Amino acid sequence: MKNNMQRVIGNLVILTPVIVGLVFYKQLPNQIAIHFNVEEQANGFMNRNLAIVALPFLALIIYNLCFSFFKQITIPFLKEFMLWLVPISAVLIQGLILTVALGGHVQVRLTVIWLVALIFLVIGNYLPKIRNNSIIGIRTKWTLSNHDTWYKTHKFSGKLFVICGIVFAPVCFFTSSKISSIIFLTMLILLTITSTIYSYRIFKTVNKI
């Protein structure tokens, strides 16, 4: 019952920007900017009618699929966070698009920086608490092979995510958009490589290979 209610509320939240778009329909330009480059300049446009509904309906599909994919998450807060991430992100992004289309000024870069840093921190805090599963987490053939490798890898990776979250925002405030993008991609690559190598080393240690 609780899941069904959350699902309904989440769907309504996602559709909220559609209502806003319809209310301000006549004030919106025929072509709406939906994509911006690293310098916050619009470089992708969409017809007004489609721009109002495209992202929200895509978010609806993703959100409802999440209920099936995240059933194995046993940590209540993490499950709530993952499920609410889609509605909140959809409203935030669509809200930014409509605000810019209506002539408002939004610091897209700063908004994205704070959002990314927050996601890093939350994921890092809850990675060590995720139980072994085949859907979410650091899923290498070594972490999935036994509990000890899974636990130690996620504890280690959780610390890395927290460090990245703490470092990312301050560093990006003092760098250009292009450098910020490079920093973000570099962090993701390093996190992936480091976590994979660490899981292999732990696997060897646990199994004394």
Output the DSSP codes for 136-155.
SS---TTTTT-HHHHHHHHH
Task: Please give the average per-residue pLDDT across 79-99, as a whole number.
Answer: 82
Residue 209 has pLDDT above 60, yes or no: no
Q: What is the pLDDT of residue 42?
A: 75
Q: What is the pLDDT of residue 39?
A: 64
Confidence (pTM): 0.67
Look at residues 140, 156, 155 and name the one whose alpha carbon lies nearest to residue 203.
140
3-state SS, residue 32: strand
Residue 107 has pLDDT above 80, yes or no: no
Quick one: tokens of 142? 């070594």
Residue 153 has pLDDT above 90, yes or no: yes
Helix (H) or strand (E) holding 35: strand 31-36
Q: What is the pLDDT of residue 159?
A: 93
Q: What is the pLDDT of residue 182?
A: 85
Residue 141 has pLDDT above 70, yes or no: yes
For residue 150, what pLDDT band results from cuts at 50, 70 and 90?
A: very high
For residue 76, what pLDDT band results from cuts at 50, 70 and 90?
A: low
For residue 40, what pLDDT band results from cuts at 50, 70 and 90?
A: low
Residue 88 has pLDDT above 80, yes or no: yes
Q: What is the pLDDT of residue 189?
A: 92
Mean pLDDT, all residues of the chain? 83
Residue 72 has pLDDT above 90, yes or no: no
Show Cβ contacts of residue 163 under 8 Å, excluding neighbours closer than 6 positions.
124
